[in-house]
Structure 1
């Protein structure tokens, strides 16, 4: 008979082997499968993708086991149960917790897939390989309202798990990551008898600021070709049923819809999928919706008072504040009046020691001639207005200036003529007299491909900008665009050689197709100090201060204007909406966050 010591040794050995097995699967990101026979595939397979787990339903023996696995979803994660044969049965097992994902599944037959005849110029597809890549991917995820992934996951666990492929698209001219996609090799996690053959595509996302066409297509093709080389029979993907732009791309590449379904948990991340907002709230623009969503996450009562104009009321306890996007009752009428009149704004901030450009009011021809003698180029803009309407930049010809004055007068009776300062537009979002976000704003531009007309390139870029901003950013095809094209020696009908860039607007406003590039972590402290001094001089608690700078890393600047209702969207990864709600309702902040925010060194 076995001795007591021998039994204890064997139990200890068994526990050690189990611990080793658990650690091995944790390292790969796979949940350890149940024991199975030699002819069976693995059981209860769940792949950790960083943003959540993929639960492969065919490997679960019972509906109950799959539901219990979904209940193990971690906070701030999004688990997805895929390849479910009877989704109605799974949802019925826990109707208060689960919902049927409103997405279509598409499949690409890799046996018949053919590579593109030509690769897109200016884009390099490669593996994610550094912390900088991981940060760039997370910024793209945040801009697309996707769940970010811990950089350590990309750089450690994902590398050890051969089932995962993380690709990035790099702009070869700037070195910037402008897109990403994740692939899952089912053969590495399933095997014979598992019911999960093939491969799948996840998290395809393109930087909304990217101007190069074909980034998404290049990522999909590269991933498909990798799996084709591995011998995978097909590539599957899941896409929301109303994402018409993505579906058009997939169908163009040869994907066909297949009857596969997915189930998710009802959690705050998925709320828009199973509980659409009321009709009024759905009509809010992205700037108002961003704030409303953050308020709801805090448990703050939201009442939409005029959806089309972006008005809403927030109530928390006994405190109630009416807002129009980022303009709230905390901003006084006096501060708003100062921002509304650019001549007054200029005088107020100049008295605070903020550097301002030279400026005159249009109407006196002698003054205009003297002004033009001092400055080679000028800016013409209405004294009152927003979103860059009526602003014409970089004028030197008298006829063009007079025409620009007439355009500006359609927005304001008084028109300003200002010295033109060469440089980049820098927007600094200041909330409660602290810097929250800083971003370089670049004018809309297009990149030629050697066969597409300028007009079509503008229309494509405009569609991408509109899709990325909820319809807020589009490139007009008006006289100002035509003037910019003429300065570059082209017209709407011209065909640009491959790789040539042409600026199609001189102003960098988001509403006319401009793009936003975050520089918060690198902006020069003198610029931050000047922005805060301007905000304090106006006595405005929430504002967007616009400078022209040679570089955000240098101290030189010229003040352009202060915005009383700055757009808080498109500043990912900076927490603009969070800081706005913190200002309105400080007691809705977690205690730890409140201590951090109130103690930050960037306050004025």
Structure 2
């Protein structure tokens, strides 16, 4: 990981967001004493729509309406997602290909099977992302890769490739886009929530060590059920500090340092609700990404953008039909969004019209002939 100056972190888009929005709201961290899982909330919503859920052994469930099976779920992915959409979303590069075909800006990932060919692209210049094409939950992802550390990043991605042959076995090399990672929850082609994934950071006070700052940050999160249940250990964080930080480093007052690049909950990230902050253009870009894949009725769309008030420079990164609603239902900061209600509403509408025939459209000419 290349050495960064303190000013570099503060001046990056995520650093500006932390300084302007996260740090001022730190003492107003949301308090959620109880956590309700994604599928449990979905099951409750379906029952409210008179749609009982039959859970099979394992990860499969069937949705019933008037005694008939009208849909179902595998893990968190429902039958609002077509086979074609599921296949497209199983490959990050295929997802971006659909978005690019619709005229949308994409992150520019390219698949490789040969390490030497991939290294030639990375060795030119700049910072890169190396990741498995078919993996989820940031498994095997390396950010800000250079030619010098490419070999380690490649091997990490190879080790994390899905063992299931149905998933892509390629390794993706993609330009690193320095911006805000925003997750949009899109149902039926409409965006209902957006959250910035804020990576783990500390802000110096002039006397506390980095270890003290991490412990204080984690202790503050204990009042939030989702954050508390997903926190990494302090030891894990301190063992992987970016150079030149150590656990005993004392940061100046107001000095911002990012300890991680990705904003996953299990890496110490914080979901910050920005549903009312994102521009209409960004919302349209997320909806367009979902609509670019046929049959993608419910999905988490990831965009990277330099700012929230414009789509200039924003790119489509990924589409996740297995997306959890928890980051929207239990954000660290901002208003909670009940996006599962929208999901169950669409499932209910589909159930009501499950087997009803749709008459062919009647043209004006045929009406006159009749």
TM bucket normalised to smaller: 0.7 to 0.9
- Please give the alpha-carbon distance, in whole angstroms, between the structure 2 residues aligned to 1:587 and 1:369: 49
Distance change (3 Å), C-alpha of 1:176 and 1:461: closer
> Match for residue 152 of structure 2?
403
TM-fit CA distance, 1:337: 1.4
- The equivalent residue for 2:270 is 515
User: Structure 1 residue 555: deviation in Å?
Assistant: 1.7
Aligned counterpart for 1:545 among listed residues 298, 301, 326: 301
Equivalent in the alignment of 1:268:
none
Distance in 2 (alpha carbons) for counterparts of 1:476 and 1:354: 39
Paired position in structure 1 for 2:360 = none
Aligned to 1:334: 84
Alpha-carbon spacing, 1:313–1:504, altered in 2? closer, same or farther (3 Å): farther
Shift of 1:423: 0.8
Counterpart position of 1:150 = none
Structure with the larger RCO, 1 or 2 (CA within 8 Å, 6+ apart): 2
Deviation at 1:352, TM superposition (A): 0.9
8 Å Cα contact 2:93-2:110 kept in structure 1: no
In structure 2, what is the equivalent of residue 559 of structure 1? Answer: 316
Shift of 1:177: 4.1
Could you tell me whether the CA contact under 8 Å between 1:380 and 1:416 is conserved in 2? yes
| 1:503 positional shift | 1.1
The alignment partner of 1:562 has SS state of: strand
* Deviation at residue 409 of structure 1 after TM alignment: 1.0
1:301–1:315 contact (8 Å) kept in structure 2: yes
CA, structure 1 residues 431+381, in 2 after alignment: closer, same or farther (shift >3 Å)?
A: same
1:253 paired residue number: none
Q: Whose radius of gyration is greater, 1 or 2?
A: 1
Cα pair distance change 1:576/1:477, threshold 3 Å? same
TM-score by length of 1: 0.47
Is the 8 Å Cα contact of residues 462 and 473 (structure 1) preserved in structure 2? Answer: no
1:255-274 residue pairs with structure 2 within 5 A?
none
Give 1:438's match in structure 2, choosing from 178, 185, 194: 194
Equivalent residues in 2 for 1:185-584, closer than 5 Å: 206-207=29-30, 286-305=37-56, 311-320=60-69, 321-324=71-74, 326-362=76-112, 363-366=114-117, 368-373=119-124, 375-396=125-146, 398-412=147-161, 413-449=169-205, 452-455=208-211, 457-459=213-215, 461-462=217-218, 467-469=224-226, 473-475=230-232, 485-486=242-243, 489-539=244-294, 540-556=296-312, 557-571=314-328, 572-584=335-347
CA distance in 1, matches of 2:236, 2:149: 11
Following superposition, the deviation at residue 340 of structure 1 comes to 0.9
CA contact (8 A) 2:96 2:108 kept: no
Measured after TM superposition, the shift of residue 179 of structure 1 is 4.8
Give the equivalent residue in structure 2 for 1:265: none
User: Is the Cα contact below 8 Å between 2:109 and 2:174 reproduced in 1?
Assistant: yes
Q: Is the 8 A contact 1:286 1:469 kept in 2?
A: no
CA–CA distance in structure 2, aligned partners of residues 493 and 475 of structure 1: 19
* Contiguous gaps of at least 5 residues in structure 2: 1-17, 162-168, 329-334, 353-370
Q: 1:324: how far off?
A: 3.8
Q: Deviations over 1:161-212 (max 9, x none)?
A: xxxxxxxxxx9964744556xxxxxxxxxxxxxxxxxxxxxxxxx4269xxx
Q: What is the deviation of 1:430?
A: 0.8
> What stretches of structure 1 of length at least 5 have no aligned partner?
1-170, 181-205, 210-242, 244-271, 273-283, 590-604
User: Is this contact kept in 2: 1:393–1:420, CA < 8 A?
Assistant: yes
Q: Relative to 1, partners in 2 of residues 1:575 and 1:364: Cα closer, same or farther, differing over 3 Å?
A: same
CA 1:343–1:461: 2 relative to 1, 3 Å? same
- The number of equivalent residue pairs is 316
Q: Give the Cα separation in 1 of the matches to 2:91 and 2:31.
A: 32
Q: Structure 1 residues 460 and 304 mapped into 2: Cα distance closer, same or farther (>3 Å)?
A: farther
Q: CA deviation at 1:477?
A: 6.5
Give the secondary structure class of the aligned counterpart of 2:292.
helix
**CA-to-aligned-CA distance 1:379-419 (integer Å, 9 cap, x gap):** 111111111121111122x3322111111111114211111
Structure 2 length as normaliser, TM-score?
0.73
State the Cα distance separating 1:534 from its structure 2 match: 1.9
The answer to whether the 8 A contact 1:427-1:441 is kept is yes
Please give the root-mean-square deviation of Cα atoms over the aligned residues, in Å: 3.4
Cα distance change of structure 1 residues 506 and 449 upon mapping to structure 2, 3 Å threshold: same
- Render the CA deviation track for 1:537-562: whole Å, top value 9, x for unaligned: 21210111111101121022111111
